[in-house]
Amino acid sequence: MDITTKIPVHIGLFGHIDSGKTSVAASLSEIISTAGLDAHPQSKERGITIDLGFTSFILNDYIVTLVDSPGHADLIKISASSVEIIDCALIVIDINKGPQVQTGEHLIMIESLHIEKIIVILNKIDIFNGKVEDEIIKIKKFFRSTTFGSDIPVYAVSAKNKNGFKDLKHGIFAIINSLKLNRDIKGN
pLDDT score for 94:
98
Each residue of 111-142: pLDDT tens digit? 988 899 999 999 999 999 999 999 999 999 99
Burial 94-129 (b: 16+ CB within 10 A, else e): bbeeebbebbebbbebbeeeebebbbbbbbbbeebe
Model confidence at 183, pLDDT cuts 50, 70, 90, reads: low
Over the chain, what is the mean pLDDT? Answer: 83
Task: Average the pLDDT over 180-184 and give the result.
Answer: 71
Dist CA 155 CA 123 (whole Å): 8
CA angle 165, 169, 175 (to 5 degrees): 140
Each residue of 15-59: pLDDT tens digit? 888 899 889 998 998 766 544 554 545 444 544 445 667 889 999
Question: Coil, strand or helix: which one is 147?
Answer: coil
pLDDT score for 43:
44
pLDDT score for 112:
84
Query: 104 to each of 29, 94, 108, 151, 168, how far by Cα in Å?
Result: 26, 13, 6, 18, 22
Q: What domains sit in the chain, N to C, each tagged with a CATH number?
A: 3-178 (3.40.50.300)
pTM of the model: 0.84
